């Protein structure tokens, strides 16, 4: 089962009700045969803009994420169920990707152009494309080829 992250934007609620909303959401995931890996509370903050959902205008909200595993076929059911919950303002499900491993090459990139490897490759290509040229100081006092 792939890992997903559910980002919830919840209505401003007193603590017991907030707990019950999260519990309801978690139970829904369990009912669909999912596994919950992690809860994260991102705090209660003002929304960037006013949001009208389920007939109510919201200006502040609690942000909460749930990392869980479930079958991809169950996602639409989960979305539908969370869409019906009037305490949830916004719900997004993201797939958790393996973190990309990369090396920092800033030192090479900060070198002067002549020392950079990619620039040296470009110069090599240009040298390969150059035609052989006649040397004028080779002893002949005339140009031996057709001009």
Partner 1 sequence: MLRAGCQLFNPSTVAAAKTGSNNFALEFVRWRRKPRWLPVAKSKVFRVPERKKQSEEERTELMRLHNNYKTQLRSVRQYLREEVVRQQETSTADHIVFTPEQEEAEFQRCLEVNAAWNAQIAKEREVRLAKEREEKVAYIQERIEAGKLRAEEQRERADQRIRHEIEQSKTFITRDNLDAAIETALANPVDHNYALDLEGNMLRGRTTQSLTS
Residue in 2, 17, 33, 42 binding partner 1, rule: CB under 8 A: 42
User: Among all chains, which residue has been given the structure tokens 């909200």?
Assistant: 61
Q: Which of 72, 99, 118, 93 is nearest to 8 (CA)?
A: 93
Minimal distance, residue 33 CB to partner 1, in Å: 13
Which of the ranges 39-47, 48-56, 95-103, 123-131 carries the binding residues for partner 1, by CB under 8 A? Answer: 39-47
Is 108 a residue that touches partner 1 (CB under 8 A)?
A: no
**Which residues lie below 8 Å from residue 62, measured CB to CB, with a gap of 6+?**
9, 10, 11, 12, 13, 18, 41, 43, 44
Is 39 a residue that touches partner 1 (CB under 8 A)?
A: yes
Residues that bind partner 1 (CB under 8 A): 15, 18-19, 22-23, 26-27, 30, 35-43, 64
């Amino acid at each position: 089962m792939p890992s997903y992250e559910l980002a919830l934007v919840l209505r401003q609620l007193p603590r017991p009700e907030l707990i019950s909303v999260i519990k309801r959401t978690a139970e829904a995931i369990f009912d669909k045969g999912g596994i919950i890996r992690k809860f994260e509370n991102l705090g209660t903050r003002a929304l960037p803009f006013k949001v009208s959902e389920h007939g109510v205008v919201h200006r502040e909200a609690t942000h909460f994420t749930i990392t869980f595993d479930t079958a991809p076929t169950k996602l639409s059911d989960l979305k539908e169920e969370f869409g019906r919950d009037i305490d949830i303002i916004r719900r997004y499900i993201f797939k958790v990707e393996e973190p990309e491993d990369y090396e920092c090459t800033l030192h090479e990139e900060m070198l002067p152009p002549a020392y950079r490897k990619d620039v040296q490759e470009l110069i090599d290509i240009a040298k390969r494309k150059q035609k052989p040229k006649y040397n004028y100081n080779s002893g002949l006092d005339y140009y031996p080829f057709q001009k």
